Chain A
Amino acid sequence: MRFDFRYVIKVFPNILSYLPVTLGIAFLSGAIAMLLSVALLALRKIHCRALQAALNFYLDFFRGTPVVVQLFFLYYGLAQLFPVFKNLNGLTAAIIGLSLNASSYMSESMRGAVQSVHPRQVEAGLACGLTQTQVMWHIVFPQAARIAVPTLTNDFIGLIKSSAVAFVLGVRDVMAQTKMLGGSSYRFFECYFVAIIIYFILTKLIHTFQLWLEKKLDVRTRNGGKKCSRSVS
């Protein structure tokens, strides 16, 4: 079989039209995962043995088992045990599963970033009379954000790639559509070639955004250029 470039051109728009589904899953799960991660971080501050053990288990579970198994477990397994999960559709289950999974990675990235802010920054803030919340808001989080950008972006790229397994729950995303077209035309190479190009360009764009954001958040690249309502007199 020869590589049929015309077929590639032909199916490209078709497969691309499912990109919004992939993006929707990725961004929605990503956003939920971020919120969950912040919540996990906050829970980490509570001194309770049982709670901390549960959190550790949560992280180990989601990082230590394959995401596809987690999705099956959530979608098919839990529905058998708890009837409420029967009404869950594949898309919702995929988003829930991927959010939980990504949150286990993202919360660790955030924790690392917060920890790498010099402790003196916190002390100096408190010593100046700021409250703990103000110190976190004005000093720790902005500095941690800069540090967290590369790892969180990596986590997000991982999430996009994981989202391709959502097809196992019957979700019609880029991957599912590719698989279907390939199956009906037997032009597997061309179809998956298109899918690979789409995923590759998508993650490349996100990586570019990461570099831009890193630069934007780095004080070293904006020194002297910041606007101030008052100038030197």
Chain B
Amino acid sequence: MLQISQLKKSFDSLQVLNGIDLHVKKGEVVSVIGPSGTGKSTLLRCINYLEQPTSGSITIDGLCISPETKSRKRLYEIRRKSSMIFQDHSLFENKTVLENITLPLISAYGYSKSDAEVKAMDILQAIGLADKYNQYPYALSGGQQQRAGIGRALAIEPKVMLFDEPTSALDPSLINEVLELIRSLAEKHMTMLIVTHEMSFARHVSDRVIFMNHGIILEEGTPDQIFTSPRCHETKSFIKSTIQRVNF
């Protein structure tokens, strides 16, 4: 479903991604973990070309794009195959919750206004936000905002969903409702690539876990293998550091 090969990305002299090869099968849930600044966000941003890779190709659902074959048309086509959920501030602040979902449907996917609204309301119902349909984002809690963002991403029926630390900006008390929603998607076999610092979540929800370090995939395996018997020394110490919390 998603195939990344030899993906490299540098910002001026800073080499952030050093050749990523990754294949995500249909219905597979892959979590990406790793220390801060190793290029996890950059990887996701390259997948939908918010950031143009320096080299390497990306194929989603049979559509391939690389810096050499990039065209404006191809760019929009590939973006429409995936959808991305950011940490925060991603709901359109000048649109209601309902409009947040209908705008891409109408403008990018050719829905009529009424079809888009029916679909948006169905999704809001499913994620438990139907009563908020007419509210603006500022009036929603952080967790509700993230759920609405996931709803918007779902509405376009993406081939793969990309999550960039969807709970990192949330109050601890709001994290669970968002993780619950993502887990329900995993149960429905949505293809997902999830960057997260929620280790126990990654462990329970993923089919495969990837450990990234310094712009490469250092190690990958099943959650049990990565979390209980990591091969690399770096993986081991990273996982240890996330478990040990300093007690004040």
Contacts and interface: CB of A to CB of B under 8 A. Distances in A.
A127 interface: yes
B177 interface: no
Contacts of B90: 120-121, 123-124
Interface stretch (A69-77, A86-94, A149-157, A219-227): A219-227
Interface residues of B, number: 42
Contact of B98 (A131, A142, A228): A228
Contacts of A128: 83, 103-104, 108, 152-153, 156
A141 to B, nearest CB: 9
Contacts of B135: 223-224
A83 interface: no
A10 interface: no
Interface in B220-247: none
A126 B134 contact: no
Interface string A206-233: 0000000000000110111010111011
A125 interface: yes
A138 B93 CA distance: 11
Given A118-B89, A127-B50, A142 B104 contact: no
B92 A134 contact: no
Which of A121, A124, A131, A146 neighbours the largest number of chain B CB atoms within 10 Å of its CB?
A124
Interface in B58-76: 76
A229 B99 CA distance: 11
Given A125-B92, A220-B138, A230-B118, A130 B103 contact: yes
A101 interface: no
A107 interface: no
A224 B91 CA distance: 17
Given A129-B108, A232-B130, A120 B88 contact: yes
A193 B80 CA distance: 64
A201 B181 CA distance: 57
Interface string A105-145: 00000000000001011011111111100100011001100
Nearest to B51: A123
Given A127-B84, A143-B94, A229-B113, A224 B134 contact: yes
A220 B136 contact: yes
B157 to A, nearest CB: 11
Contacts of B86: 120, 123-124, 127
- With a 10 A CB-CB cut-off, give which of A118, A142, A223, A232 has the most chain B CB atoms: A232
Interface in A56-106: none
Nearest to B137: A219
Contacts of A125: 92
B96 A226 contact: yes
A129 to B, nearest CB: 4
18 contacts: A123-B90, A124-B86, A125-B92, A126-B50, A127-B50, A127-B79, A129-B83, A130-B104, A131-B76, A138-B103, A219-B94, A219-B136, A220-B138, A223-B139, A226-B96, A228-B96, A229-B117, A233-B121
Closest 7 CB pairs of A and B: A129-B108, A128-B104, A124-B90, A129-B80, A127-B84, A219-B136, A120-B89
Interface of B: 48, 50, 76, 79-80, 82-84, 86, 88-96, 98, 103-104, 107-109, 113-114, 117-118, 121, 125, 130-131, 133-136, 138-139, 149, 152-153, 156
Interface of A: 118, 120-121, 123-131, 134, 138-139, 142-143, 146, 219-220, 222-224, 226, 228-230, 232-233
Given A124-B92, A138-B92, A232-B130, 15 more contacts: A124-B90, A127-B83, A128-B103, A128-B104, A128-B108, A129-B156, A130-B107, A131-B76, A134-B108, A138-B107, A139-B95, A219-B94, A220-B136, A224-B135, A226-B134
